Chains A and B, each alone.
Chain A
């Protein structure tokens, strides 16, 4: 059952995209900024996890938690230092700054440790389980379970907690939320923290799944995750999850039928088709400009 194997591979890749895409979509929903540096937070997460496992000899779960905590702090710092002043700036200025932050993180990393990749250590049990004729790695299942737990946790935070309610209010109308006594700055910080923590987690998961990390590893998954967010409807949390899975599966299918060199092009073609045919994505709403 080869297709089942491919489907599982696609879902694993998709779950990583989905975790990163959530951060893009949450940040876009709240401050209408494409946080280009988000893919680099994902990269930092992978490296933090790597150091936690190799230097401090931690297990997968503690390393994951450390990466999430550190990434959420990094995310908040990025927001406070670079993006806070841009709230009323032009789109061009905001996007350019975000691209600048992204390159700054990448090349600072290269500056300090070089561009050589690292091999991620094996931390998860590697036994093959046979389900319906497909060989499925226990690691894959473990990763999927972790991803799903994180997503449920996020849903809980967004829908059941006070900060989640504040986040939804601010993304709906920041000025009105401020008048209602919501601390908008803290809410935005919290959004960056949560989004970055998820990206950090995705970094550790990516590292242990694909076993190779380097300072520029965040660029392509970052862009793909953004495509996933657009596909699902930017600003929509379920959209980011669904978009991530769809993109992961499509990429795996394109590779599986023998066009692996065109895999990246497929993602960009999807992006352009979505932007042109349905810019609001699967779950988004169309907004028209007031005249």
Chain B
């Protein structure tokens, strides 16, 4: 096996004595679409937060593209080529749809503060490129007609799509999607999954997808990791996961509690 794009080695984090996640080993090869599933509170989002620099793991190592990214700030992680969406949509609500995407596109532009203040030609060129690229991203998600709407005025499903468009505009190699289908109906979910497959091809992406609902990722992910109580309990293809007794127990156990 060649070098994976992303590698987590024994990572773990403690919040004041409480081990939220421990001994997680994962890898993602370039171009893979991998699912990370687990019951509520299993540590999925915490893992994402460690990957993106929001939390610094208290143990273990994270390598991306052969470099350690542990301890980098979120914006630095983003510059390395990891982009994410949030479970509880975090759009720039009072800005337009277009500006939301442009902000993520920020790091790909080069014109300096001085050139913007003095309105030098590099500013106009840079801004024009950003505008063009951002609209392209919006088109993929069929949001270009709403480009001047405020993000908060979009319906829920579109807000979720805008978040993905925004994450994509940051130019990632690895895209982390945190429950992208949460709150969607089955039809919208299906459309979203098709869209994810499409952008993955189009942009040559590697994708890590968190889902709470197991059935959802089964169809689309090549490999699946299962977290429970902060630890990996299983890894494999959907078929293997489906029949794994530990997974069934984790999920059934939760079902009973509900």
Contacts and interface: CB of A to CB of B under 8 A. Distances in A.
B225 to A, nearest CB: 20
Interface residues of A, number: 1
Nearest to A286: B16
Contacts of B54: 291
Interface string A274-291: 000000000000000001
B251 interface: no
Nearest to B54: A291
Contacts of B45: 291
B25 interface: no
Nearest to A290: B88
A291 B45 CA distance: 8
Interface in B34-75: 45, 49, 54
Nearest to B52: A291
B86 interface: yes
A291 B49 CA distance: 8
Interface string B70-113: 00000000000000001000000000000000000000000000
A291 B84 CA distance: 12
Contacts of A291: 45, 49, 54, 86
Query: For the side of the interface on B, what is the size category?
Result: under 10
A291 B89 CA distance: 10
A291 B178 CA distance: 11
Interface in B2-54: 45, 49, 54
A291 B87 CA distance: 9
Interface string A151-184: 0000000000000000000000000000000000
B221 to A, nearest CB: 24
B16 to A, nearest CB: 9
Contacts of B49: 291
A291 B54 CA distance: 8
B124 to A, nearest CB: 34
Nearest to B90: A291
A126 to B, nearest CB: 53
Interface string B237-250: 00000000000000
Interface string B169-201: 000000000000000000000000000000000
Interface in A254-291: 291
A291 B51 CA distance: 13
A272 B45 CA distance: 34
B40 to A, nearest CB: 14
4 contacts: A291-B45, A291-B49, A291-B54, A291-B86
Interface of A: 291
Q: Which 4 A-B pairs have the closest CB atoms?
A: A291-B54, A291-B49, A291-B86, A291-B45
Interface of B: 45, 49, 54, 86
